[in-house]
């Protein structure tokens, strides 16, 4: 009897213990305030024009007050220092907490921000004069032209080791410094090496934002940790919001900056960011009403949301998802340059892009028929991609171009035998390996390509690697065929084309880098890009860029699959958020009912 009593008491104490523990934890926790989707853009960098993101209308309650917008963009940012950031999500934080000379409006148009007007450009197109308005840093200090001169020179300084220092190459130098004069506190006279049609866009790019010199120097007197000044909440900035608290890997709270030049028009009081890259957690937080805006949606959910849930939206991006051949790979040994190009051309035509965008991408991506994406400006007032600049019919690739692909392979020296069931056998056999990083979307695309190539008897193995190893192998050329992607940093085709120059660190296709007899000669391409960078005739420049894209596509080392877009979900009671085609999202003029 006593034994039973003890057992009952123990059970009772267990229940009490559990309850007490639960409530204790909840009370204790109140003092603690702080991957990869192939279907959408997942590249690491960017910024400049268009795409209104606010046209949804459906129910959905959200937590927080009407002046608080709860957002997820990504996990912990590496750098909040705009000079050192090279990620899209870091760029989004920068455009909301820093102000540059120029910015974008809701229509994607470039407009003055701290500049009083668009720049005055000299007749030769090389001297830009920018007049600044009077404005202040978040700590009340005055912000003037010298702050920009200091900040821009800091980016190019060797010790800063900024990824985007090359963007400043268009500006002429006075010794080690940029050729910028400041006739008075609120005027900048910037001299360029040669006319640059996209320089206005560059001035709206986060790397061109000013930083507070006194803060930077105080935090890092010996220059060894350049981003230290912006590693914790409370750093001085000049944008719409200042970072009030930062619980690493949990949350960031940005509050309205009363010293922002346009504070009177900032409609959202606070931005609360969930710092997570876990698809499930993000989507659950959105559905439970803890978040108002997300730009990560699990791939599996897209088909049940796209066109069905009005809170789901798609943004255009300026970028291309493509695959690329290593032109020096042994699979091309024994072939002439032309034969190797025909092999690649045949494989390009065999890939069913329609299937990929419909079944893997699922967000209405446009199948790509060129490397420079749709919608990119040509630097001369027009759009670069025209109806006649397609390199193949992207809608018909796959089964529709089988015969053409077979003919190309035969011209490349292979014998193809019709199996009578719509497939072919190839002699001698071709075996290639497709390199990709982990990620269900990327693998699904690889599998689709694998099936397409199998139709002509080409055997393709899929090799999936950890992200870091993948980047290393791709850069070193340790692959035959690899998945690739490029999201533009600024709105000019040269940003897409210059990645394939011989000296580019992004030339994974190894064009101009190896000694294979089957690889195309690449000196002319380098010369062409160099001319594009230096020409003063913008009309001729457009033609040169078309010629460069022709030359690139004639190698068939680069096989475009589709043009990027990006997804988001936004509660119906939220309005006024807008984004650019470079992935930058602006939250300061949003409202929440």
The interface with another protein within residues 56-85 (CB under 8 A) comprises 63, 70, 75-76, 78-79, 84
From candidates 11, 214, 218, 539, binder to another protein by CB under 8 A: 11
CA distance 95 to 574: 19
- DSSP line for 247-264: ETTTEEEEEE-TTSTTGG
Q: Answer yes or no whether residue 473 interacts with another protein by CB under 8 A.
A: yes
- Cβ atoms of 285 and 72 within 8 Å: the answer is yes
Over the range 85-120, which residues count as b (16 or more CB within 10 Å of their CB) and which as e? Answer: bbbbbbbbbbbbbbbbbbbbebebebebbbbeeebe
- Cβ atoms of 377 and 488 within 8 Å: the answer is no
Torsion angle, alpha carbons of 262, 268, 273, 279, to 10: -120
**Considering only CA atoms, which of 569, 568, 573, 570 is closest in space to residue 591?**
573
Cα dihedral across residues 345, 349, 353, 359: positive or negative? negative
Stretch that binds another protein, among 8-16, 199-207, 300-308, 329-337 (CB under 8 A): 8-16
- Cβ atoms of 241 and 588 within 8 Å: the answer is yes
CA distance 284 to 392: 42
From candidates 469, 527, 539, 540, binder to another protein by CB under 8 A: 469
Range 20-39, binding another protein (CB under 8 A): 21-22, 25-26, 28-30, 32-34
Residue closer to another protein by CB (options 35, 106) is 35
- Cβ atoms of 545 and 494 within 8 Å: the answer is yes
Range 399-428, binding another protein (CB under 8 A): none
From candidates 19, 58, 249, 536, binder to another protein by CB under 8 A: 249
Rg (CA), the chain: 27
Stretch that binds another protein, among 142-150, 448-456, 503-511, 562-570 (CB under 8 A): 503-511
Residue closer to another protein by CB (options 466, 524) is 466
Q: Answer yes or no whether residue 163 interacts with another protein by CB under 8 A.
A: yes
From candidates 107, 116, 194, 247, binder to another protein by CB under 8 A: 247
What's the closest the beta carbon of residue 26 comes to another protein, in angstroms?
A: 6
Burial class (CB in 10 A: 0-12, 13-18, 19+), 65: exposed
CA distance 432 to 523: 28
Question: Helices 538-555 & 523-534, crossing angle to 10 degrees?
Answer: 160
From candidates 57, 175, 224, 308, binder to another protein by CB under 8 A: 224
Residues 6+ apart with CB under 8 A from 456: 346, 350, 402, 405, 406, 409, 416, 423, 424, 426
What's the closest the beta carbon of residue 226 comes to another protein, in angstroms?
A: 7
From candidates 206, 227, 239, 520, binder to another protein by CB under 8 A: 227
Q: Answer yes or no whether residue 155 interacts with another protein by CB under 8 A.
A: no
CA distance 283 to 60: 14
From candidates 191, 380, 463, 504, binder to another protein by CB under 8 A: 504
SS3 label, residue 308: coil
Over the range 173-192, which residues count as b (16 or more CB within 10 Å of their CB) and which as e? Answer: eeeeebbbeeeeebebbbbb
Residue closer to another protein by CB (options 214, 469) is 469
Stretch that binds another protein, among 175-183, 190-198, 227-235, 443-451 (CB under 8 A): 227-235
Range 263-282, binding another protein (CB under 8 A): 272-276, 278, 280-281
SS3 label, residue 492: coil
Q: Answer yes or no whether residue 222 interacts with another protein by CB under 8 A.
A: no
CA distance 196 to 178: 16
Residue closer to another protein by CB (options 159, 554) is 159
Range 534-573, binding another protein (CB under 8 A): none
- Conformational region of residue 491, where left means phi above 0, alpha means psi within -120 to 50, and beta covers everything else: beta
Range 279-338, binding another protein (CB under 8 A): 280-281, 284-285, 287-288, 290-291
From candidates 57, 123, 161, 176, binder to another protein by CB under 8 A: 161
Residue closer to another protein by CB (options 468, 593) is 468
From candidates 37, 45, 197, 555, binder to another protein by CB under 8 A: 45
What's the closest the beta carbon of residue 29 comes to another protein, in angstroms?
A: 5
Q: Answer yes or no whether residue 162 interacts with another protein by CB under 8 A.
A: yes
In the shown chain, the binding pattern of residues 179 to 218 toward another protein, with x for contact by CB under 8 A and - for none, equals ----------------------------------------
Stretch that binds another protein, among 94-102, 241-249, 357-365, 421-429 (CB under 8 A): 241-249
Long-range contacts, 544-550 (Cβ 8 Å, 24+): 545/372, 545/378, 545/379, 545/384, 545/493, 545/494, 545/497, 546/384, 546/389, 548/497, 549/370, 549/371, 549/372, 549/389, 549/493, 549/497
Residue closer to another protein by CB (options 86, 267) is 86
- DSSP line for 122-148: -TTS-EEEEEBPPEE-TTS-EE-HHHH
Cα dihedral across residues 473, 476, 478, 482: positive or negative? positive
Stretch that binds another protein, among 234-242, 369-377, 428-436, 460-468 (CB under 8 A): 460-468
Q: Answer yes or no whether residue 173 interacts with another protein by CB under 8 A.
A: no
Q: Answer yes or no whether residue 2 interacts with another protein by CB under 8 A.
A: yes
Q: Answer yes or no whether residue 225 interacts with another protein by CB under 8 A.
A: yes
What's the closest the beta carbon of residue 361 comes to another protein, in angstroms?
A: 19
Residue closer to another protein by CB (options 93, 99) is 93
From candidates 393, 395, 466, 554, binder to another protein by CB under 8 A: 466
- Cβ atoms of 499 and 486 within 8 Å: the answer is yes
Q: How many residues bind another protein (CB under 8 A)?
A: 80
Stretch that binds another protein, among 144-152, 224-232, 301-309, 362-370 (CB under 8 A): 224-232
Q: Answer yes or no whether residue 231 interacts with another protein by CB under 8 A.
A: yes
């Amino acid at each position: 009897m006593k034994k039973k009593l003890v057992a009952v008491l123990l059970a009772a104490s267990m229940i009490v213990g559990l309850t007490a523990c639960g409530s204790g934890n909840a009370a204790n926790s109140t003092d603690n305030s702080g991957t990869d989707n192939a279907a959408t853009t997942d590249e690491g960098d960017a910024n400049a024009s268009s795409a209104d993101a606010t046209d949804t209308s459906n129910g959905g309650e959200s937590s927080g007050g009407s002046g608080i917008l709860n957002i997820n963009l990504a996990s912990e940012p590496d750098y909040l220092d705009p000079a050192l950031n090279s990620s899209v999500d870091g760029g989004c934080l920068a455009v909301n907490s820093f102000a540059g000379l120029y910015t974008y409006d809701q229509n994607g148009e470039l407009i003055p921000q701290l500049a009083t007007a668009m720049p005055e450009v000299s007749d030769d197109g090389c001297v830009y004069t920018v007049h600044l308005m009077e404005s202040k840093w978040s700590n009340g200090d005055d912000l003037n032209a010298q702050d920009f001169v200091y900040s821009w020179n800091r980016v190019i300084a060797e010790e800063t080791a900024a990824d985007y220092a090359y963007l400043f190459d268009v500006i002429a130098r006075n010794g080690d410094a940029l050729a910028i004069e400041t006739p008075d506190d609120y005027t900048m006279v910037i001299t360029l090496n040669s006319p640059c049609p996209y320089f206005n866009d560059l001035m709206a790019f986060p790397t061109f934002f000013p930083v507070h010199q006194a803060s930077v120097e105080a935090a890092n007197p010996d220059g060894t940790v350049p981003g230290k000044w912006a590693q914790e909440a409370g750093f001085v900035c000049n944008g719409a919001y200042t970072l009030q608290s930062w619980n690493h890997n949990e949350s960031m709270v940005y509050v309205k900056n009363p010293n922002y030049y346009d504070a009177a028009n900032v409609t959202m009081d606070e931005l609360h960011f969930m710092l997570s890259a876990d698809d499930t957690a993000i989507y659950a937080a959105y559905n439970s009403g803890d978040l108002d805006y997300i730009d990560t949606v699990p791939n599996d959910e897209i088909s049940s949301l796209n066109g069905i849930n009005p809170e789901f939206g798609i943004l255009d991006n300026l970028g291309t998802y493509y695959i690329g051949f290593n032109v020096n790979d042994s699979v091309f040994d024994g072939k002439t340059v032309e034969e190797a190009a025909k092999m690649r051309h045949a494989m390009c035509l065999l890939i069913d892009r329609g299937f990929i965008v419909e079944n893997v991408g699922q967000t209405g991506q446009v199948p790509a028929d060129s490397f420079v994406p749709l919608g990119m400006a040509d630097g001369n007032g027009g759009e670069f991609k025209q109806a006649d600049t397609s390199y193949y019919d992207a809608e018909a690739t796959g089964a529709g171009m089988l015969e053409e692909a077979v003919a190309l392979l035969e011209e490349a020296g292979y014998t193809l035998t019709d199996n009578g069931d719509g497939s072919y056998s190839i002699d001698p056999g071709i075996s290639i390996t497709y390199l990709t990083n982990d990620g269900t979307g990327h693998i699904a695309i690889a599998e689709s390509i694998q099936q397409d190539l199998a139709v002509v008897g080409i055997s393709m193995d899929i090799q999936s690697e950890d992200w870091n190893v993948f980047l290393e192998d791709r850069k070193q050329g340790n692959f035959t065929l690899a998945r690739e992607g490029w999201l533009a940093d600024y709105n000019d085709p040269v940003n897409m084309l210059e990645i394939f120059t011989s000296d580019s660190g992004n030339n994974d296709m190894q064009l101009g880098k190896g000694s294979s007899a089957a690889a195309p000669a690449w000196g002319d391409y380098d010369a062409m890009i160099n001319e594009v960078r230096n020409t003063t005739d913008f009309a001729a420049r457009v033609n040169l860029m078309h010629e460069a894209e022709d030359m690139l596509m004639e190698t068939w080392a680069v096989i475009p699959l589709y043009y990027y877009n990006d997804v988001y979900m936004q509660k119906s009671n939220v309005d006024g958020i807008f984004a650019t085609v470079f992935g930058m999202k602006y939250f300061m003029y949003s409202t929440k009912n």
